[in-house]
Structure 1
Amino acid sequence: MAIKERKEREKQEMRNLVIESATQLFLKQGYDKTSIRSIADDIEYSPATIYLYFKDKDEIFYVIHENAFDILDKHLRQHDGIADPFERLRAIGRTYIKFGLENPDYYDLMFIMRAPMEQIKNEEKWKAGECAFGYLLTTLSECLEQKRIRPADLHVTAIMVWSFVHGLVSLYVRERMCILMLPDDTTREVLYSSFDLFMANLKM
C-alpha cells in the first residue's frame, strides 16, 4: 500500500475512533458535560491529537448528526419505487418510526438531545437533513397534486406529518409509553396503528 493511502486510512480510522467515543459520551453524560478532554481520555490520546482532526466539539457533533441523517435518508428512499404517492408517504412514515424504534440512541442525538445548532446553521447546506425533509416535501406535493390527501398548505402538512411521527417515536424513546402497561411488541404495534389512523384521516 502506498504511503499516502496508508496515511489516509489511518486518518479515517482515527476520526472514526473519535466519533465512536464522542457518540457514547454524548449519550451517557450529555452534550454540555462532554469535552474534548473527556473524549481524549476515553480513547487514551491527548486533546491536541483530536484537534488535528476536528476543530472543536461542535464539529464532532455535526459529523455524528450528519451521518445519522444520511442513514435515515437512505432508509426512506428505499420507497422510491412506490408509484402511488399516498402509499409511498405511508411507507415513509412507517420507516421513520421503525428507524427511531431500532436506533433510539441515534434518534436521541438527532432530535431530542439539547445541543447547539450553530455548526449545522453555518454549513452551506445541511445536506442529509435537507434531503430527508425534501423527500417528504416531494412526496406530499405529489399527494396534493393527485388529490390523494386533503387540500392544505404543503409546508404546514409536512410539519404536521413529521410532528406526528416524531411525537410517537419520542414518547417511545424516552420510555413514556410505559403508561400503556403493554408488552413492548404490542406497544410498537400501537404506534404503527396510530400512524395508520392518522394517515386515514389525512386521505381524501
Structure 2
Amino acid sequence: MGVAERKERHKEELKKEILMAAKELFMEKGYEATSIRNIAEKIEYSPATVYLYYKDKDEIMHALHQEGFKMLVAYFGTLNTIPEPFGRLIAMGRAYIQFAMENPEMYELIFVMKDPIDHVASCADDSWDEGDRAYDVLFQTVVECQKSGDFQGFEPHGLSFTIWSTMHGLCSLRISGHLGHVAEASKVKPDVDSLMTYTFETFTGVLEKIR
C-alpha cells in the first residue's frame, strides 16, 4: 500500500471515528449540548482536526443521517426478490422493524430526535436524497400494489404515510420502552416481543382487509 492510500484510509477511519463519537454524544447529551470540542475530546484529537473534515455540527449530523438512511435502504435490499407487490410491502415492514431493533440509536437519531431534521434540512441542497430514497421504496411499492388491483380508491402518498407512521409508532414505542410497560401491565401478560409481533400481524391483517 502506497503513502497516498494509507493517508486516504486514515482519513476515512478518522471520519468514521468522528461520526461515531458524535452519535454517542448526541444521544447522551443532546444535539445542542454537544460541542465540536466534546467530540474532539472523545476521540482524543484537537477540535481543529474535526474541522478538517466537517465544517460544523450541522454537517456532522447530515453525514449521520446519510449513513442511517443508507443502512435502512440496505435492509430493503432483498425485497426485489419478492415479485408480488403486496408480499413485498409486508416484507418491507418486517425489514423496517429489523433495522430499528438492530440499530436503535441510529433509528432514534434519524427518526425521533427533533434537532436533526432541522439541521439536515439546512445542509441539504434541494433534496434529501437518502431520506427520499428510503421513502420512495415504500411509495413505489404502494403504487405497484395499486397497479395490481390493491388499495383502489386510496391516494398513494396518503396510504404510504399511513403505513410508515404506523410502523414508526410501533418501533418508537418498542425502543423507548413504552411498549414494554404496556406488556407488563397487560392482564394477558404477553412479553414485549410477542406484543410487537402481534401488533404487526394485526396491522398487516388490516392492510389485507382493505387491499
User: TM tier, shorter chain?
Assistant: over 0.9
Q: CA RMSD in A?
A: 1.5
Query: Separation in 2 of the partners of 1:106 and 1:23?
Result: 8
CA distance in 1, matches of 2:119, 2:28: 22
Q: What displacement does 1:13 show?
A: 1.1
Please tell me the residue identity of whatever aligns with 1:200.
E
Q: Tell me how far apart the structure 1 counterparts of residues 174 and 135 of structure 2 sit (CA, whole Å).
A: 22
User: After alignment, is 57-66 or 190-199 more displaced?
Assistant: 190-199
Corresponding residue of 1:88: 88
One-letter identity of the residue aligned with 1:132 = A
- Rate the CA distance shift 1:176–1:45 in 2: closer, same or farther, 3 A: same
Letter in 1 for 2:183: L
Higher relative contact order (CA 8 A, sep 6+): 1
Q: Quick check: 2:85–2:144 contact (8 Å CA) kept in 1? A: yes
Is 2:73–2:133's contact at 8 Å kept on the other side of the alignment? yes
Change (3 A) 1:194 1:27: farther
Distance 1:19 1:171 in 2: 26
Structure 1 residue 191: Cα displacement: 3.3
Counterpart of 1:188?
A: 196
Q: In 2, distance between residues paired with 1:101 and 1:39? A: 26
Conservation of the 8 A alpha-carbon contact between 1:90 and 1:199: no
Per-residue displacement from partner, 1:127-180 (whole Å, max 9, x unpaired)?
A: 221111111111111111111224211111111111111111111111111112
**Deviation at residue 112 of structure 1 after TM alignment:** 0.3
Partner of 2:143: 141
Q: How does 1:44-59 map to 2 (within 5 A)?
A: 44-59=44-59
What is the alpha-carbon distance in structure 2 between the residues aligned to residue 201 and residue 29 of structure 1? 44
* Aligned match of 2:159: 157
1:29 and 2:20 aligned: no
Amino acid at match of 1:171: L
Give 1:187 deviation, angstroms.
Answer: 2.7
CA distance in 1, matches of 2:206, 2:94: 12
Q: Percent identity?
A: 36
The corresponding residue for 1:67 is 67
Distance 1:49 1:148 in 2: 54
Q: Tell me whether 184-193 or 36-45 shows the greater mean CA deviation.
A: 184-193
Q: Which deviates more from structure 2 when the two are superposed, residues 8-17 or residues 149-158?
A: 149-158
Question: Normalising by structure 1, what TM-score?
Answer: 0.93
Distance in 2, matches of 1:2 and 1:180, equals 57
TM-superposed deviation, 1:61:
0.9
Distance in 1 between residues matched to 2:74 and 2:210, nearest whole Å: 25
Go from structure 1 to structure 2 and tell me whether the alpha carbon gap of 1:119 and 1:107 turns closer, same or farther (over 3 Å shift): closer
Question: Residue 169 of structure 1 aligns to a residue in which SS?
Answer: helix
Distance 1:194 1:8 in 2: 50
> Are the aligned partners of 1:165 and 1:195 in contact in 2 as well (CA < 8 Å)?
no
Q: Number of aligned pairs?
A: 203
| Deviation, structure 1 residue 20 | 1.0
Q: 1:143–1:149: 8 Å Cα contact kept in structure 2?
A: yes
Q: Cα offset for 1:118?
A: 3.7
Q: Distance in 1 between matches of 2:130 and 2:208?
A: 29
Which sits farther off after the overlay, 174-183 or 7-16?
Answer: 174-183
